[in-house]
Amino acid sequence: MQVALKIWRYDAVAGKRALREYEIDAPEEATLLDCLDIVKDQVDGSLAYRKSCRMMICGSCGMRMDGAAVLACKTRMYEIARAGHVPVISAMGNLPIVKDLVVDMEPFWGKIRAVQPWLEPGYSDPGEKEHVVSQERMDVIHKESLCIMCGCCVSECNSMESDPDFLGPAALAKGMRFVGDPRDRATVDRLQSYSGEHGIWDCTRCYFCNERCPKGVDPRDAIAKLGAEAMKEGIDSDMGAKHAKWFVTSAKTTGWLRETELVPKTQGIAKSLKEVTFAMGLLKHGKVPPPVPPHVAKHVDEARALYDLVQVQGRDGAAGITQSEKALGRLEHAHGGGDAAQRGPYGSGAFAKPFLPGEEPAP
Amino acid sequence: MRTVAYYKGCLASLSAKELDTSTQALAPKVGLELIELEAVTCCGAGDIHEAEPDYYLHLNARILAYAEETGADTLMTICNVCTLNLRQANHALQGDDALLARVNENLVSVGAPPYSGGVEVLHFLWLISAGEGYELLQGAAHKGLKGLKIAPFYGCQILRPSKLLGFEDPDKPQSLERIIAACGGEAVDYPAKIKCCGFPIIQAREDVALAELIQPIEQAKEAGADAMVTPCPLCHLSLDAWQSKLYKQTGKDFQMPILHLSPLVGVAAGLDSSELKFKRHVVSVEPVTEKLSV
Do B150 and B198 touch, CB atoms closer than 8 A? Answer: no
Over range A209-231, report the average pLDDT.
97
Q: State whether B15 and A287 contact (CB < 8 Å).
A: yes
Q: State whether A244 and B51 contact (CB < 8 Å).
A: yes
φ and ψ at residue A276, rounded to 5 degrees: -60, -45
A68 burial class (0-12, 13-18, 19+ CB within 10 angstroms)? buried
Nearest-by-CA chain A residue for B280: A285
Angstrom distance (rounded) from CA B196 to CA A265: 24
Of residues B138, B186, B219, the one with CA closest to residue B291: B186
Q: State whether B195 and A158 contact (CB < 8 Å).
A: yes
Rounded to the nearest angstrom, the minimum Cα separation between A253 and chain B is 10
Mutation to test the B interface, candidates A324, A328, A342, most B Cβ within 10 Å: A324
Q: State whether A313 and B204 contact (CB < 8 Å).
A: no
Residue B294, pLDDT score: 66
Least confident window among A168-172, A353-357, B59-63, B78-82: A353-357
Least confident window among A72-86, A336-350, B32-46: A336-350
φ and ψ at residue A203, rounded to 5 degrees: -70, 130
Q: State whether B198 and A298 contact (CB < 8 Å).
A: no
Q: State whether A328 and B88 contact (CB < 8 Å).
A: yes
Beta-carbon contacts of residue B156 (< 8 Å; ≥ 6 apart): A205, A206, A207, A208, B80, B194, B195, B196
Band the pLDDT of A352: cuts 50, 70, 90: very low
Residue A131, pLDDT score: 80
Q: H helices within chain B, ranges in order? A: 17-26, 47-51, 53-69, 80-94, 97-109, 124-128, 131-140, 175-182, 206-222, 233-241, 243-250, 261-268, 273-276, 286-292
Residue A340, pLDDT score: 37
| Residue A308 pLDDT greater than 50, yes or no | yes
Chain B residues with CB under 8 Å of A93 CB are none
Q: State whether B237 and A334 contact (CB < 8 Å).
A: no
Residue B293, pLDDT score: 75
Domains and CATH numbers, chain B: 2-124 (1.20.1050.140), 141-292 (3.40.50.11810)
| Residue A355 pLDDT greater than 60, yes or no | no
The distance from CA A121 to its chain's CA centroid, rounded to whole angstroms, is 27
Residue B6, pLDDT score: 98
Cα atoms in the Cβ-side hemisphere of radius 13 Å centred on B267: 27
Chain B residues with CB under 8 Å of A218 CB are 161
Q: Which helix (H) or strand (E) holds A298?
A: none
The reply to whether omega before B53 is within 30° of 0 (cis) is: no
Which pTM value belongs to this model? 0.94
Domains and CATH numbers, chain A: 2-104+336-342 (3.10.20.30), 106-237+320-328 (1.10.1060.10)
Residue B50, pLDDT score: 97
Q: State whether A310 and B54 contact (CB < 8 Å).
A: yes
Band the pLDDT of A350: cuts 50, 70, 90: very low
Q: Which of A66, A297, A326 sits opposite B96 (nearest CB)?
A: A326
The distance from CA A236 to its chain's CA centroid, rounded to whole angstroms, is 22
Nearest-by-CA chain B residue for A324: B92
Q: Which of B51, B54, B171 sits opposite A68 (nearest CB)?
A: B171
| Residue A26 pLDDT greater than 90, yes or no | yes
Angstrom distance (rounded) from CA A246 to CA B272: 36
| Residue A328 pLDDT greater than 80, yes or no | yes
| Cβ contacts from A onto B, under 8 A | 297
Nearest-by-CA chain B residue for A299: B39
Q: State whether A306 and B95 contact (CB < 8 Å).
A: no
Chain B residues with CB under 8 Å of A300 CB are 41
Q: State whether B201 and A210 contact (CB < 8 Å).
A: no
Band the pLDDT of A349: cuts 50, 70, 90: very low
| Residue A276 pLDDT greater than 60, yes or no | yes
Residue A213, pLDDT score: 96
Mutation to test the A interface, candidates B54, B96, B213, B221, most A Cβ within 10 Å: B54
Residue A363, pLDDT score: 39
Of residues B182, B143, B158, B141, the one with CA closest to residue B26: B141
Q: State whether A267 and B203 contact (CB < 8 Å).
A: yes
Band the pLDDT of A342: cuts 50, 70, 90: very low
φ and ψ at residue B277, rounded to 5 degrees: 50, 50
Angstrom distance (rounded) from CA A160 to CA A334: 26
Residue A228, pLDDT score: 98
Q: Report residues of chain B scoring pLDDT below 70.
A: 294
For chain A, give the mean pLDDT. 90
Beta-carbon contacts of residue A97 (< 8 Å; ≥ 6 apart): A10, A12, A91, A103, A104, A354, A355, A356, A357
Give me the percent of chain A exceeding a pLDDT of 70: 91
